[in-house]
Structure 1
Amino acid sequence: MEINDKSGVTNYVAHSERYNTMKYNRCGKSGVLLPAISLGLWHNFGFVDKQHNAREILRTAFDLGITHFDLANNYGPPYGSAEENFGMLFKKDFKPYRDELFIASKAGYDMWPGPYGNWGSRKYLMASIDQSLERMGLDYVDIFYHHRPDPDTPLEETMVALADIVRQGKALYVGISNYQPKETAEAAALLKELRVPFILHQARYSIFDRWVEDGLLDALDNNGVGCIAFSPLAQGMLTNKYVNGIPDDSRAAKNFTYLDKEQVESNLGKIKNLAALADKRGQKLSQMAIAWLLNRPTVSSVLVGASSSGQLRENVKALDNLEFSKEEMDIINANS
């Protein structure tokens, strides 16, 4: 919602009904509730993107009750630009609402040159959180993640760094991402000993990618940690885009890094079957894919990206039908 002040400047005022329709879920055994659908800023928020579109997406998200914005130090392109753009838009539109927002950042992937700009050392994590806060113009983030496990840095070093970031007031909670079950359990034990609130594991999870069901979800349940799922649409395969084949302008046709023709072609039969089921449910395939994830008991939130406010609204409509019959679940399991 926008209003004009006496000087003619357009100001953002959040929709007064924003909390009435969004569903909120608890993160494990913590005190935190997250919106069932959260907004990821991995794409569409860098310097190469249109800022007016990014602004419209963020406003739409908050107006729909999406309080959780997920960033990382290297989101862009270029690296850091998503956080910098978010910081500018936060200052313009969302500063009055800071206490209603749950903002995330991460560090763990390549960020700057040299031996201290990657992985999981204390040196890297401490520098990264300071840089992220400066780019976003924030005093703290609500959650700070280690973005991926480091095979060479002792896990204790990484977890102590996360704990100290919380103790320094730069983050309220910590999380991890892309960790395997054994590593997750070890991290949880260390953080429990350090008395640091570890509340979320961010993991790739979709109907077509169910690796988390092989022990990770159990590890999270055993430690009172929630799961926030990213790539819920399997890089676009779980949308209506590929039901009739591979369009010339699609990611698969261009053989993007995360999706290629062979991958889509091998799943076309399953995509058609799942799309037919979604249609019977009165949903688009993307909406059913999101609803299916929210049906999983350990999943606190589903992280979606959006190239437009319209696409975001479409994804949020997944909340209109979250119930599945046994027969529907059987069809999904047979086509996963």
Structure 2
Amino acid sequence: MYTANPERYDTMKFNRTGRSGLLLPAISLGLWHNFGGNDVFENGRAMVRRAFDLGITHFDLANNYGPPAGSAEESFGQMLKKDLAPYRDELIISSKAGYYMWPGPYGEWGSKKYLVSSLDQSLKRMGLDYVDIYYHHRPDPNTPLEETMSALDLLVRQGKALYVGLSNYRPEEAREAAQILRRLGTPCLIHQPNYSMMSRWIEDGLQDVLEEEGIGTIAFSPLQKGILTDRYLNGIAADSRAAGPSVFLSEKELTPEVLAKVGKLNEIAAARGQKMSQLALSWVLRGGKVTSALIGASKISQIEDAVASLNAPELSAEELEQIETILRG
């Protein structure tokens, strides 16, 4: 029988989510990949247990996570049943809907029919009565935003979700959605965009919108699909994600220019006593604009490294300028 580490909250840093009462760990664990039906269950289970022992209370899923779609939620449901059920009230469990899940006109996007049905399915797969956060996973260009937001509001009122959020929304879409939700009486808690040293689009307006609206930010892919690690410093290994037919990372993304920048960034990391991945997380969390960095992992050591990054000193103005110079180059 699993018993959680009694010291799990001693070192984890928690940040307030926008203008809400909810605190999130600075590092959250995403189950997008490596936790589905095609993966080794016991490896995923060990990672989830270790994450919680280190103070990671937030586990992020979506209806289509796997592969195959839905299997990550099924696996996590088993982990809850076997290990984490006694700690349910200490956990923040999130799911999302927006991408393709089943055939026909009601199996994706943002209609009320789809969002309500999808959350019912997610709850069944995980064996839960409610999720803590339910996201609309991507904007729907054809469904009125009022319908999509009213579906999120309905699910909170039904008790199936405590909070709601957005993912992949651009600045004006996010502002309009937040205003609709506020009028309905269910404020938008959080936005989940991709954000890293090499993907900085949220700095062009979205961060301002979220700050003005009092919405938190959880950044996915803060390591840029593994590029911002030491994985590719010496070339592309035969067993790496980029070397195979991965849908997440292609060899074309690892250009000589990109790898040269990572090499220079790694020198800054080394001077700080950090790994490259840890520097990337410190950078994403700099200045307090990002509530939590959402990591993926394939082994326990990656989770341990991510949490250890929180012990590093704040990036100095000089270090930040050095990083900017490298990224601009």
Alignment TM-score, normalising by the size of structure 2: 0.97
Structure 1 portions without partners, runs of 5+: 1-10
Aligned to 1:33: 23
Within the alignment, does 1:245 sit opposite 2:235 as a pair? yes
Q: Distance in 2 between matches of 1:335 and 1:257?
A: 28
RMSD, aligned α-carbons: 1.0
Is residue 274 from structure 1 mapped to residue 269 from structure 2 by the alignment?
A: no
Query: Which residue is equivalent to 2:62?
Result: 72
In structure 1, the residue matched to 2:46 is 56
- 1:319 corresponds to which of 291, 300, 310: 310
CA shift in 2, pair 1:247/1:297, >3 Å: same
Moved more, 315-324 or 78-87: 315-324
Preserved contact between residue 236 and residue 243 of structure 2 (Cα < 8 Å): yes
Residue by residue over 1:81-112, the C-alpha shift from the partner in whole angstroms, topping out at 9 and shown as x without a partner, is 11011111101111111110000000000011
Secondary structure at the counterpart of residue 252 of structure 1: helix
SS in 1 for 2:105: coil
Do residues 178 (structure 1) and 168 (structure 2) align?
Answer: yes
Report what 1:8 is aligned to. none
Structure 2 equivalent of residue 3 of structure 1: none
3-state SS of paired residue (1:299): coil
Q: Read off the aligned partner of 1:117 and give its amino acid letter.
A: G
Match of 1:215 in 2: 205
Q: Helix, strand or coil for the counterpart of 1:34?
A: strand
CA contact (8 A) 2:218 2:294 kept: yes
Matched AA of 1:110: Y
Q: Name the CA distance, whole Å, in 1 between partners of 2:212 and 2:59.
A: 27
Give the Å deviation of 1:249. 2.1
Shift in Å at residue 35 of structure 1? 0.3
Does the 8 Å CA contact 2:278/2:306 hold for their aligned counterparts? yes
| Contact 1:46 1:78 (8 Å CA) reproduced | yes
Q: What is the rounded CA distance, in whole Å, between the counterparts of 1:49 and 1:317 in structure 2?
A: 26
Partner of 1:333: 324
The Cα of 1:322 is off from its aligned counterpart by 4.2
Aligned residue type for 2:219 = A
The alignment status of 1:262 with 2:221, answered yes or no, reads: no
> Which amino acid letter does the alignment assign opposite residue 30 of structure 1?
S
TM-score w.r.t. the length of structure 1 is 0.95
Q: CA deviation at 1:198?
A: 1.2
Identity of aligned residues (%): 60
The separation in 1 between residues aligned to 2:201 and 2:306, in whole angstroms, is 23
Match of 1:301 among 289, 292, 296: 292
Which stretches in structure 2 are left out of the alignment for 5+ residues? Answer: none
Asked if the contact 1:104–1:144 (Cα under 8 Å) also holds between the matched residues in 2, the reply is yes
CA displacement 1:268-292 (0-9 Å, x = unmatched): 1111110111000000000010111
Deviations 1:59-90 (A, max 9, x none): 10110000000000000111111101111110
- Structure 1 runs (4+) greater than 3 angstroms displaced: none
The 8 Å contact of residues 255 and 261 in structure 1, kept in 2 or not, is answered as no
Query: What is the total number of aligned residue pairs between the two structures?
Result: 326
Name the counterpart of 1:230: 220
Asked whether the equivalents of residues 47 and 76 of structure 1 are also in contact (C-alpha less than 8 Å), the reply is: yes
Partner residue of 1:6? none
